[in-house]
Amino acid sequence: MTHQPETLHYAVSVVGKDRTGIVAGIAEVLFRLGCNIADSSCSMLAGEFAMILIVSHPRPFSKSKLHDELKPVCDNMGMSLAVRTLHVDEVARQETSDEICIISVYGADQPGIVYRVTRELAALGVNIMDLNTKLIGTPEEPVYVMMLEAAIPEGQTPEGLEALLGDLKKELNVEIGVRIVTPVAF
Tell me which residues touch another protein (CB under 8 A): 44, 102, 104, 106-108, 130-132, 134, 136-138, 141, 143, 145, 147-149, 175, 177, 179, 181
Pick 69 or 149: Cβ nearer another protein: 149
Rounded to a whole number of angstroms, the minimum distance from the CB of residue 126 to another protein is: 15
Rounded to a whole number of angstroms, the minimum distance from the CB of residue 106 to another protein is: 6
Q: What is the DSSP letter of 75?
A: H
Can you tell me the distance from the alpha carbon of 116 to that of 110, in angstroms, rounded to the nearest whole number? 11
Give the number of C-alpha atoms closer than 13 A to the C-alpha of residue 1, restricted to the C-beta side: 23
Comparing CA positions, the residue from 107, 103, 106, 144 lying closest to residue 120 is: 103
Pick 33 or 131: Cβ nearer another protein: 131
Q: Using an 8 Å Cβ cutoff, are 10 and 59 in contact?
A: no
Pick 40 or 104: Cβ nearer another protein: 104
Pick 120 or 149: Cβ nearer another protein: 149
Q: Number of helices (H) and strands (E) in the chain: give both, helices first.
A: 5, 8
Rounded to a whole number of angstroms, the minimum distance from the CB of residue 85 to another protein is: 29
Give the number of C-alpha atoms closer than 13 A to the C-alpha of residue 46, restricted to the C-beta side: 6
Rounded to a whole number of angstroms, the minimum distance from the CB of residue 129 to another protein is: 10
